[in-house]
Chain A
Amino acid sequence: MPAVESTYHREFPVKGGDFAKAGAAACEIKELLKDLGLAPATVRRAAIVAYEAEMNVIMYAWEARIGLTVSLDEVRLTVDDRGPGIPNIELALTEGYSTATAEMRELGFGAGMGLPNIKRNADVFAIDSEVGRGTRLDITIRMNGHKP
């Protein structure tokens, strides 16, 4: 009989501009992964990715869904947003490059570290963006990964 691979999937809606709820999705994802018994280092990496992605949506996009899929050997996070998109992805991935407003910076964010932080914590990182439509992130964190 073939082995049954169990996967867990859930989606978390995030609203752009909703600073009051910032971090709610990431904290819920972290608790879920802890409850699933994942190693603390893997949980931390996934939580950081989810949190930075959630903050990006809140700061720049209109709305998004963060998809969490956990299988035996990896955690996958997808972020599909409806938003202005990123005109120059290479630039957006440069540490320190930011288009954040002064208000965002006062909150402790917008230092141009969001996407680079996500990439650092990912074993597989893919980004696709269309100006005027939105951005899609697809992140894989392997259970046996060693980043960062």
Chain B
Amino acid sequence: MIVLKDVLALLEGELLTPASPPETPLPKVFASDLMSDVLSSAEPGSLLLTGLANVHVVSTCSVADLAGVVFVQGKRPAPDVVLQALSRNLPLVATKLTMFEACSRIARFIEDGGHARR
């Protein structure tokens, strides 16, 4: 199973919530900019990849029990969004990769059974 530190390494990501445990498990992955799609289709415990960086992402993840967020393509949430995530123990990661590249790297890692783990 992919964990937070794998995501950071694979996506050359920056952890915006430094207190998040590196071994946080992320058993499923979901990618969308539509929060209603997240609410209807993402499974609990999922990592969300999104190009949306507003506070509704954190609220949506909190409501639907998602386990972490990756903001793709250089998007960065405002400080108040990060604060909300901290208060809800939701790890946030920023990457400069595009949505497609970020998803591809995670999919390859999962298909590989995590053998590329560093």
A47 touches B63 (CB 8 A): yes
Task: Give the residues from 24 to 66 in chain A that come closer than 8 angstroms, CB to CB, to chain B.
Answer: 26-27, 30, 40, 44, 47-48, 50-52
B60 touches A51 (CB 8 A): yes
> Counting chain B CB atoms within 10 Å of each CB, which of A111, A112, A116 scores highest?
A111
Our pick among B60, B62, B63, B64 for the contact of A108 (Cβ within 8 Å) is: B60
Q: For the complex, what is the distance from the CA of A20 to the CA of B54, rounded to whole Å?
A: 10
Q: Does A113 contact B (CB under 8 A)?
A: yes
Q: Does B117 contact A (CB under 8 A)?
A: no
Tell me what chain A mostly uses at the interface: helix, strand, loop, or mixed: helix
Q: For the complex, what is the distance from the CA of A49 to the CA of B73, rounded to whole Å?
A: 31
Q: Does B9 contact A (CB under 8 A)?
A: no
Residues of chain A within 8 A of B34, CB atoms compared: 108-109, 111, 113
Our pick among A51, A120, A148 for the contact of B63 (Cβ within 8 Å) is: A51
Q: Does A93 contact B (CB under 8 A)?
A: no
Q: Does A137 contact B (CB under 8 A)?
A: no
Q: For the complex, what is the distance from the CA of A36 to the CA of B52, rounded to whole Å?
A: 33
Q: Does A23 contact B (CB under 8 A)?
A: yes
A52 touches B39 (CB 8 A): yes
Task: Give the residues from 107 to 138 in chain A that come closer than 8 angstroms, CB to CB, to chain B.
Answer: 107-109, 111-114, 116-117, 120
B63 touches A48 (CB 8 A): yes
Residues of chain A within 8 A of B50, CB atoms compared: 108
A108 touches B33 (CB 8 A): yes
Q: For the complex, what is the distance from the CA of A15 to the CA of B62, rounded to whole Å?
A: 21
Q: For the complex, what is the distance from the CA of A109 to the CA of B34, rounded to whole Å?
A: 6
The 8 A CB mask of A90-110 against B (1 = contact, 0 = none) is: 000000000000000001110
B59 touches A23 (CB 8 A): yes
B65 touches A52 (CB 8 A): no
Q: Does A22 contact B (CB under 8 A)?
A: yes
A113 touches B36 (CB 8 A): yes
Q: Does B97 contact A (CB under 8 A)?
A: no
Interface residues in chain B, defined as those with a beta carbon under 8 Å from any beta carbon in chain A: 33-37, 39-40, 44, 50, 52, 54-57, 59-60, 62-65
Q: Which 3 A-B pairs have the closest CB atoms?
A: A23-B59, A113-B36, A108-B35
A-B contact pairs, 28 of them (CB 8 A): A22-B56, A23-B56, A23-B59, A23-B60, A26-B59, A27-B63, A30-B63, A40-B65, A44-B44, A44-B64, A47-B64, A51-B39, A51-B59, A51-B60, A51-B63, A52-B36, A52-B39, A107-B35, A108-B34, A108-B50, A109-B35, A109-B36, A111-B34, A113-B37, A114-B36, A117-B40, A120-B40, A148-B40
